[in-house]
């Protein structure tokens, strides 16, 4: 157990039996009242926002979280199988930890997974990924007067919007958080 004064932004706490990530942690001293810490925390599993005021001498439990790079191997039902790059040990990570970015995962890609006592609690893909266009309609000449977009399917099977000059076989950089096209890769 640690004192509330030892908590920092980015820490993972065990708060009311749940794991929460500290997003904002501010020390306040209002006038002639006692000082306190105002915390804004996000539940790791549900994503729900929690606000709480800690007394300066209040005991809090800072969870020991290990974050590492892993290589994505394959899809296995409700799980993604990843491998530790140093020990070659394989882990099953629930798909919901990756969120919406999971649809852009391709084999051999590096991902970041955080474990708290052998239980995966957070997972994230790289911010951008390079994917090949497997299908798109050819552009019609003269359709370029505005910032027009067309549908294209990438190698992971996801359909995204790309500019008209993108053709089948081109490699594009995609933002994994929003699914937006960023640029064409040479």
Distance of CA 24 to CAs 7, 11, 38, 84, Å?
10, 10, 8, 31
pLDDT for the residue numbered 145 = 61
pLDDT for the residue numbered 7 = 92
pLDDT tens readout for residues 28-64: 999 888 999 999 999 988 889 999 999 989 999 999 8
Q: pTM for this one? A: 0.73
pLDDT for the residue numbered 122 = 86
Give the C-alpha separation, 128 to 177, whole Å: 8
Contact 62, 116 (CB under 8 A): no
CB atoms within 10 A of CB 84: 14
Those residues of the chain that have pLDDT short of 70 are 141-146
Helices (DSSP H) in the chain: which residue ranges? none
Contact 2, 60 (CB under 8 A): yes
pLDDT for the residue numbered 92 = 93
């Amino acid at each position: 157990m640690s004192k509330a004064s030892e908590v920092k932004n980015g820490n993972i706490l065990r708060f009311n039996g749940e794991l929460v990530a500290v997003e904002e942690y501010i020390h306040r001293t209002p006038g002639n009242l006692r000082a306190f810490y105002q915390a804004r925390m996000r539940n790791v599993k549900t994503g729900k926002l929690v606000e709480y005021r800690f007394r300066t001498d209040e005991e809090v439990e800072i969870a020991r979280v290990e974050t590492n790079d892993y290589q994505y191997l394959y899809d296995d039902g409700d799980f993604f199988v990843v491998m530790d790059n140093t020990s070659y040990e394989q882990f099953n990570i629930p798909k919901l930890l990756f969120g919406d970015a999971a649809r852009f995962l391709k084999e051999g890609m590096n991902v970041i997974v955080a474990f708290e006592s052998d239980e995966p609690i957070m997972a994230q893909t790289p911010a951008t990924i390079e994917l090949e266009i497997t299908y798109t309609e050819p552009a019609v000449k003269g359709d370029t007067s505005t910032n027009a977009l067309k549908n294209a399917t990438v190698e992971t099977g996801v359909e995204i919007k790309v500019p008209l000059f993108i053709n089948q076989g081109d490699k594009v950089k995609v933002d994994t958080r929003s699914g937006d096209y960023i640029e064409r890769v040479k």
